[in-house]
């Protein structure tokens, strides 16, 4: 694949595996072993299991809030698998599959959504920044890390994510501009899941594609079928290689769909038609990869059943290990914003503590 062959203004999508699990682009099939393919499928199943369990815990009142990833597993797992251990992952908040590939333990992920600050504390050697809820801020961090890499002469790349809605924020544009001007080794990925809460993609921008915004900043931009694990892997790999070879940043739009709600406090039936969701269910990234793997005799139904059961057991055990044992320390909520706590925060901390003790 060459980025030059995929002008984002042509609305030509890069894809390898179609919705029926058939290869439509023979020459670009990634050179991955059967074990690697099974690992990718297992990680997608893991992502979905974690989502399903988290939703049910939240409904039972056992989890605070949760942002589901269902439908976006290929965009996350495929892109992160193209990274090396030394590369930086700079996430937004809906990148579960990518976190798992990069070695973030499930315990951390559940702790985070459980409202515990320690969820953001990564194990040694896991080069993943914490979740960034302020939309777009993470793109600036990624551009900055990339620029610092150049100054320090380090060869690692940075992969960062944003949503379609995030592309309307100033941070998105500033980060792209800085990264391009300073030739920063960054891969900017947009998970275009068609919605920013209730705002549809068409209301977000008049641009035909989100990837075409790359043209203005002087970097390659490409629209990739975000439900195609092979296309996501191979486009990200090539962008990372460019970055590492000193050729600067790339913008990848992963064209996908959020099959679930924005978060557990959202009701998508209020702003989108069931028929639209049904249509996208046929393009489910897990289904098409599964078909491919079954056809090639790489996956067996027995293996799949066994793996699903193991994953479910693991997910339940991990959640139970943190439940009720991980109440957030009140000080932790206030402590880490500044090196020295400013007086306003100190005042808020005291006020909150007195509120919890029954005062006002
Ligand atoms: C600066 C800022 N403004 C508003 C919000 C509230 N908010 C949280 S998620 C979201 C929509 C994000 O949509 P998109 O970028 O498409 O990502 P998605 O949730 O679809 O993954 C908004 C407006 C926020 N977190 N930060
Ligand atoms: Mg979105």
| Ligand 1 site-directed mutation target among 135, 203, 204, 268, most atoms within 8 Å of CB | 135
Q: Check whether residue 268 and residue 162 sit in a common domain.
A: yes
Residue 166 beta carbon below 6 angstroms from any ligand 1 atom: yes
3-state secondary structure of 160: strand
Q: Check whether residue 35 and residue 180 sit in a common domain.
A: yes
Cα 325 to the center of its chain, rounded Å: 28
The predicted pLDDT at position 333 comes to 83
Residue 94 beta carbon below 6 angstroms from any ligand 1 atom: yes
> What is the number of structural domains in the chain?
2
Q: Under a CB-based contact definition with an 8 Å cutoff, are residues 92 and 263 in contact? A: no
Q: Check whether residue 22 and residue 115 sit in a common domain.
A: yes
Say how many Å lie between the CA of residue 132 and the centre of ligand 1. 10
The predicted pLDDT at position 326 comes to 60
Q: Check whether residue 93 and residue 176 sit in a common domain.
A: yes
**In this structure, what CATH number is given to the domain that contains residue 125?**
3.40.50.970
Q: Check whether residue 200 and residue 317 sit in a common domain.
A: yes
Query: Per-residue pLDDT averaged across 88-105, rounded?
Result: 98
Residue 262 beta carbon below 6 angstroms from any ligand 1 atom: yes
Position 139 pLDDT exceeds 70: yes
Query: Per-residue pLDDT averaged across 127-144, rounded?
Result: 97
Residues 6+ apart with CB under 8 A from 347: none
Residue 242 — pLDDT band, cuts 50, 70, 90?
A: very high
Say how many Å lie between the CA of residue 163 and the centre of ligand 1. 8
Q: Which residue's alpha carbon is at the smallest distance from atom 26 of ligand 1? A: 134
| Ligand 1 site-directed mutation target among 160, 195, 197, most atoms within 8 Å of CB | 197
Q: Under a CB-based contact definition with an 8 Å cutoff, are residues 16 and 236 in contact? A: no
Query: In whole angstroms, what is the distance from residue 146 CA to residue 104 CA?
Result: 21
Query: Per-residue pLDDT averaged across 158-164, rounded?
Result: 98
Which tops the pLDDT comparison, 229 or 336?
Answer: 229
The predicted pLDDT at position 81 comes to 98
Which residue has 């909520």 as its token pair? Answer: 333
Q: Check whether residue 70 and residue 159 sit in a common domain.
A: yes
Which tops the pLDDT comparison, 59 or 329?
Answer: 59
Q: Check whether residue 47 and residue 108 sit in a common domain.
A: yes
Q: How far apart are the first and last CA of the chain?
A: 63
The predicted pLDDT at position 1 comes to 76
In the DSSP assignment, the letter for residue 198 is: T
Smallest Cα–Cα separation from 73: which of 107, 56, 96?
96
pLDDT in tens, 270-312: 999 999 999 999 999 999 999 999 999 999 999 999 999 999 9
Residue 360 — pLDDT band, cuts 50, 70, 90?
A: low
Position 7 pLDDT exceeds 80: yes
pLDDT in tens, 184-216: 999 999 999 999 999 999 999 999 999 999 999
Position 116 pLDDT exceeds 90: no
Which tops the pLDDT comparison, 199 or 116?
Answer: 199
State the residue range of the domain holding 338: 329-360
Say how many Å lie between the CA of residue 198 and the centre of ligand 2. 9
Query: Per-residue pLDDT averaged across 16-41, rounded?
Result: 97
pLDDT in tens, 339-357: 999 999 999 999 999 998 9
Q: Under a CB-based contact definition with an 8 Å cutoff, are residues 103 and 123 in contact? A: yes
Helices (H), the chain: 34-59, 73-81, 96-101, 106-113, 137-152, 170-181, 213-217, 229-244, 274-281, 285-295, 301-322, 330-335, 343-356
Whether 244 sits among the annotated catalytic residues: the reply is: no
pLDDT mean across residues, the chain: 95
Q: Check whether residue 255 and residue 358 sit in a common domain.
A: no
Whether 258 sits among the annotated catalytic residues: the reply is: yes
In the DSSP assignment, the letter for residue 152 is: H
Q: Check whether residue 253 and residue 304 sit in a common domain.
A: yes
Closest ligand 1 atom to residue 136 Cα is 1
Q: Check whether residue 30 and residue 171 sit in a common domain.
A: yes
Q: Check whether residue 261 and residue 344 sit in a common domain.
A: no
- Backbone angles phi and psi of 251, in degrees to 5: -115, 125
Q: Under a CB-based contact definition with an 8 Å cutoff, are residues 190 and 211 in contact? A: yes
Position 24 pLDDT exceeds 90: yes
Q: Check whether residue 184 and residue 40 sit in a common domain.
A: yes
The predicted pLDDT at position 2 comes to 84
């Amino acid at each position: 694949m060459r980025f030059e062959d995929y002008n984002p203004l042509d609305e030509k999508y890069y894809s390898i595996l179609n919705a029926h699990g058939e290869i439509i682009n023979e020459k670009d099939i990634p050179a991955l072993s059967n074990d690697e393919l099974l690992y990718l499928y297992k990680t997608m199943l893991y992502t979905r299991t974690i989502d399903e369990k988290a939703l049910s815990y939240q409904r039972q009142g056992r989890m605070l809030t949760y942002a589901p990833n269902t439908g976006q597993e290929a965009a996350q797992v495929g892109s992160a698998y193209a990274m090396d251990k030394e590369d930086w992952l700079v996430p937004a908040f809906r990148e579960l599959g990518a976190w798992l590939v990069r070695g973030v333990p499930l315990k951390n992920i559940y702790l985070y959504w459980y409202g515990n600050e320690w969820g953001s504390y990564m194990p040694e050697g896991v080069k993943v920044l914490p979740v960034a809820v302020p939309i777009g801020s993470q793109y600036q961090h990624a551009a900055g890390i990339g620029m610092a890499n150049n100054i320090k002469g380090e060869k690692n790349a940075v992969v960062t994510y944003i949503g379609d809605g995030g592309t309307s924020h100033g941070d998105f544009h500033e980060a792209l501009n800085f990264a391009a001007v300073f030739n920063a080794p960054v891969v900017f990925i947009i998970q275009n899941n068609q919605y920013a809460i209730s705002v549809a993609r068409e209301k977000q921008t008049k641009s035909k594609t989100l990837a075409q915004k790359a043209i203005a900043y002087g970097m390659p931009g490409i629209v990739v079928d975000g439900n195609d694990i092979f296309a996501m892997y191979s486009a990200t790999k090539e962008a990372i290689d460019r970055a590492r070879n000193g050729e600067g940043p790339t913008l990848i739009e992963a064209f996908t769909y959020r099959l679930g709600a924005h978060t557990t406090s959202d009701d998508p039936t209020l702003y989108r038609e069931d028929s639209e969701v049904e249509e996208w269910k046929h393009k489910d990234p897990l289904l098409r990869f599964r078909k491919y793997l079954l056809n090639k005799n790489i996956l067996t139904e027995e293996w799949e059943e066994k793996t699903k059961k193991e994953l479910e057991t693991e997910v339940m055990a991990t959640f139970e290990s943190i439940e009720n044992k991980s109440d957030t320390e009140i000080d932790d909520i206030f402590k880490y914003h500044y090196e020295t706590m400013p007086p306003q925060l100190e005042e808020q901390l005291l006020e909150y503590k007195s509120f919890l003790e029954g005062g006002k």
